[in-house]
Amino acid sequence: MPKTWQTKLIHPDAHAPQGYRSLTTPVYRGSTTLFPSASLVDDHWDQDAGYTYGLYGTPTSLELAARICELERGTRTLLAPGGQAAISLVDLALLKSGDHVLLPASAYGPNRKLTSGLLSRFGVDATFYDPLVGAGIAALIRENTRLIWTESPGSVTMEIQDVPAIAAAAHARGVKVVLDNTWSAGVLFDAFEHGVDITVQALTKYVGGHSDLLLGSVTVREDDLYRALGSARQVLGCAVSPDDCSLALRGLQTLSVRLAAIERSALTIAQWLADRPEVERVLHPAFESCPGHEYWKRDFTGSSGVFSVVFKPGPTQKQVFAFADALELFEIGYSWAGVTSLIVTYALGRGPGRPAYEHRIARLSIGLESTEDLIADLSQALAKIRD
């Protein structure tokens, strides 16, 4: 059929040669996916259905999902637009009105807020438990408990959980266990081997690795969980950007060398801080001073670069702020696991399962600057704690 130039803008006859091969996964952008015939069906979110709509997957996003799944040793991975979106996908897919959910008091703040706020409006009841409860979780499981969240180490206070003991107690009562496995980058803790049913990761952190994207993943082994999560993902419209997926795929290629360098540097800096007179304790999972260290030693194959430091009583919150403000290499900012070292100070509220560190705690994320320079930076800024 002859075409005008205007039509050729949309349906060209001219194309680049076929056969290009590259080391990188191409970025496939697209909402519409083409079908060979009119007998298409509009409900094919399942990866087995092939490509049916950009929301459910493109070769770029499904490549990333497959790669995360392989690393975490699951059978299916679904992507979400961020770590928190992955967390809410799990809750919205698996909980209903009248259900009860257990979360560690040390869980990532917005995770706790989701259940105590938005989900409580939909009739879901949440209990926050001491992250070190271990097998004692059995006493907290109710008839209507559907899900137990774990996060190990916990956010900011860094408690390592006895995940296998929690999983054993949960499974004895038919309850599923979900783990936020972001700190381990999905590779330093083998979640499924330790009894977890669902893992969540903020790919925003170590997988992305450069503070330039937001993505999340949910990985499972059971088909029933995949089906529940997949159909919820469809109706929630959890779209991910193929460009961000491409960056995450690039991040994966250097994950092992970044993690190794960051682990080394973080251990050196944590030890240096532990020896400082201003410091009460270092909350680094590889240190005995970190609550639950024995579970890290038993269950993890290494450590990443996020840890906290608790100052001895004495400095005011203003002095702790002055210390953070005085740092020249450590930037102040949320999120973590990029190449730039970060610090955030916290004022922890008191409550069950919450240690009484109050304003004396700061969380560090070690990046890829020289360890020596980072220590020199901390050394000069610590003067502000003493002033």
Ligand X SMILES: Cc1ncc(COP(=O)(O)O)c(C=O)c1O
Question: Footprint of ligand X on this chain (CB under 6 A)?
Answer: 82-84, 108, 151, 155, 180, 182, 202, 204, 214, 216, 335
- Tokens matching residue 24: 């990188």
CB-based closest residue to ligand X: 83
Is residue 174 classed as helix, strand or coil in its secondary structure? coil
Q: Which residues of 95-185 form beta strands (DSSP E)?
A: 100-104, 125-129, 145-151, 176-180
Dist. CA 300–CA 29, nearest whole Å: 37
Our measurement of the distance from residue 87's CA atom to the centroid of its chain's CA atoms, rounded to an integer in Å, reads 9
78, 47, 75, 24: which is closest to 215 by C-alpha? 78
CB of 84 to ligand X, least distance (A): 4
Cβ at position 93, least distance to ligand X in Å:
17
Residue that is written with structure tokens 């637009």 in the block: 81
DSSP state of 155: T
Q: How far is the CB of 20 from ligand X (least distance, A)?
A: 33
CA distance 234 to 215: 17
Name which of 238 and 381 has its Cβ closer to ligand X: 238
- Smallest separation (angstroms) from ligand X to the CB of 179: 10
Both structure tokens of 260:
């190794």
Q: How far is residue 363's CA from residue 156's CA, in Å, rounded to a whole number? A: 6
Which residues share a beta bridge with 346?
361
Minimum CB distance to ligand X smaller for 204 or for 341: 204
CB of 13 to ligand X, least distance (A): 44
The nearer residue to ligand X, 202 or 327, going by C-beta atoms, is 202
CA–CA distance, 371 with 366 (Å, rounded to integer)? 9
Residue 5: Cβ within 10 Å count: 6
Shortest Å distance, C-beta 295 to ligand X:
17
- Tell the smallest beta-carbon distance from residue 76 to ligand X (Å): 20
